[in-house]
């Protein structure tokens, strides 16, 4: 079938999509798509398909660049676990809170934005830290927990999704690498300015913080909140998270993150022979995460915070927590590679070229990704299915891969931001004290406005680009 794309090439991604919609479980759905693709590529030996599937995924996982991405997803789990248990995040939150002795709404909102923007390594940690840290301040000021939930979810998710030196960046590179993209890191950097949904959401939160704009169901909860005092004193609010008995030290966060960023930039410069955008992204993020983890481990040993055995156990626990991300990368790479081999993306691009004007393609991609991500509750799964179908359309439409990838990414993030079955919505509910239903209902009007503005942008940009 390779080299002669036709409608059968769409069967594997369609199987994955249908099963994801029906079961809302992305890993088995993607795996089923891989299995079906293997059968279609060799229909004469269906009994060997299970073994061929394992062989294919093993081969994908052992490609050096892919293996680096998989290893990174495990190492970053260890890094986050060690920083968290050392109370590095708690120290950072405390430092931000005590910049001023008195708090008004403006100060609290500014702290919320800063905290949710700066903890960029992983989305769950970002939301949990911001929510548990800021909740007492919001209560004292009479601001509803639903508004807190909207702020921490939207800022945290959209910030983390645009950082390339975390798990999200690693996943972007994995799905792009599966499509034989010459320089995935450069494409991601080029696509970030077109990630309209994230930029508009972050701007919308700033507007809401400044103006107090309240729409939809949020009005009910804001109206029910206690009266707002003009100012509160930091000494009156106990906001420090009690993650362990370890004394919070800011160096337990700043040192490993500083090493992470410095190593990432240096490695990109060296591997790109002086051009950071041409550097080896997968190798660089693995180097960076490994050295950052070693840094926090040495700090904890030198400070006698944990023993070597305790550090080893915590690191392994962190890796286990991120095992599902590693498995998702392997399966997503496999499905993407098989879709490319079967010509599914080329077939989709031919259909789109015949049925749609080029200027409409990014908006359609954004809408399809948004619907899929909302229904399945996963942005990773949406990207794993859609990117192999979307990238081949770049040449046919003359719009370029960065714009089409960004349209797909924006739609995937919308679903991650709004779906009630998404894990981030559940984590936000836990961190803020708002129920999942109330959080989704109060956040949805703002998200829909941002999605509408994004859709308009994806209609206008191609007209300018092609004009």
399-442 pLDDT tens trace = 889 999 999 999 999 988 988 767 788 788 878 888 888 888 99
Lowest mean pLDDT across 186-190, 225-229, 407-411: 225-229
Residue 218 lies in a domain: yes
Residue 391 lies in a domain: no
pLDDT band at 345 (very low <50, low <70, confident <90, very high): low
95-111 pLDDT tens trace = 766 655 556 788 889 88
Joined tokens for residue 349: 């691009």
Lowest mean pLDDT across 30-34, 43-47, 232-236, 308-312: 232-236
Residue 353 lies in a domain: no
What number is the average pLDDT over the span 240-269? 78
314-343 pLDDT tens trace = 999 989 887 877 887 788 778 877 877 887
Between 229 and 128, name the one with better pLDDT. Answer: 128
Other Cβ atoms closer than 10 A to 420: 15
Q: In which domain, by residue range, is 74 found? A: 64-323
CA separation for the pair 324, 321 (Å, rounded): 7
pLDDT at site 452: 97
pLDDT at site 384: 82
Q: How many CA atoms lie within 13 A of 355 on its CB side?
A: 9
Domains in the chain, number: 1
Residue 93 lies in a domain: yes
**Torsion of the alpha carbons at 93, 96, 99 and 103, rounded to the nearest 10:** -80
Residue 373 lies in a domain: no
CA-nearest of 75, 151, 155 to 118 is 155
Residues in the chain: 467
pLDDT band at 242 (very low <50, low <70, confident <90, very high): very low
pLDDT at site 101: 54
Residue 420 lies in a domain: no
pLDDT tops 50 at residue 2: no
Lowest mean pLDDT across 60-64, 209-213, 229-233, 371-375: 229-233
Residue 233 lies in a domain: yes
Residue 379 lies in a domain: no
pLDDT at site 3: 47
What number is the average pLDDT over the span 390-396? 82
Whether the model clears a pTM of 0.85, i.e. scores above it, the answer is no
């Amino acid at each position: 079938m390779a080299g002669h794309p036709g409608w059968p090439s769409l069967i594997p991604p369609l199987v994955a999509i249908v099963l994801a919609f029906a079961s809302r479980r992305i890993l088995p759905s993607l795996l089923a798509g891989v299995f079906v693709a293997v059968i279609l590529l060799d229909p004469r030996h269906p009994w060997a398909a299970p073994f061929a599937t394992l062989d294919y995924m093993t081969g994908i996982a052992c490609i050096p660049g892919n293996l680096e991405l998989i290893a990174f997803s495990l190492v970053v789990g260890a890094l986050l676990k060690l920083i968290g248990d050392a109370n590095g995040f708690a120290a950072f939150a405390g430092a931000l809170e005590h910049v001023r002795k008195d708090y008004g709404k403006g100060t609290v909102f500014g702290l919320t934005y800063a905290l949710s923007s700066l903890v960029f390594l992983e989305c769950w940690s970002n939301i949990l830290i911001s929510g548990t840290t800021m909740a007492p301040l919001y209560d004292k000021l009479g601001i509803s927990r639903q508004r807190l939930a909207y702020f921490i979810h939207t800022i945290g998710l959209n910030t983390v999704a645009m950082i390339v030196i975390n798990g999200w960046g690693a996943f972007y590179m994995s799905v792009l690498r599966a499509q034989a993209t010459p320089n995935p890191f450069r494409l991601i950097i080029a696509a970030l300015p077109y990630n309209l949904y994230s930029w508009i959401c972050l701007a919308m939160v700033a507007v809401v913080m400044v103006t107090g704009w309240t729409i939809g169901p949020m009005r009910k909860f804001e109206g029910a909140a206690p009266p707002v005092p003009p100012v509160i004193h930091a000494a009156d609010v106990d906001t420090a998270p009690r993650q362990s008995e370890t004394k919070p030290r800011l160096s337990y966060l700043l040192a490993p993150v500083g090493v992470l960023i410095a190593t990432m930039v240096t490695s990109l410069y060296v591997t790109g022979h002086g051009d950071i955008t041409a550097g080896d992204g997968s190798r660089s993020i693995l180097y960076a995460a490994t050295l950052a983890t070693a840094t926090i481990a040495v700090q904890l040993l030198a400070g006698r915070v944990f023993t070597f055995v305790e550090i080893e156990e915590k690191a392994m626990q962190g890796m286990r927590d991120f095992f599902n991300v590693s498995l998702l990368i392997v399966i997503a790479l496999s499905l993407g590679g098989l879709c490319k081999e079967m010509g599914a993306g080329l077939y989709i691009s031919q259909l789109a070229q015949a049925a749609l004007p080029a200027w409409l393609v990014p908006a359609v991609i954004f809408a399809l990704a948004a619907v899929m991500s909302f229904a399945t509750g996963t942005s990773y799964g949406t990207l794993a299915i859609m990117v192999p179908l979307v990238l081949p359309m770049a040449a046919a439409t003359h719009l370029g891969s960065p714009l089409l990838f960004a349209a797909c990414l924006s739609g995937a993030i919308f679903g991650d931001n709004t779906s009630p079955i998404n894990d981030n919505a559940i984590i936000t509910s836990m961190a803020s004290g708002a129920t999942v239903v109330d959080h989704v209902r109060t956040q949805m009007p703002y998200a829909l406005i941002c999605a509408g503005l994004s859709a308009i942008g994806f209609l206008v940009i191609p007209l300018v680009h092609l004009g």
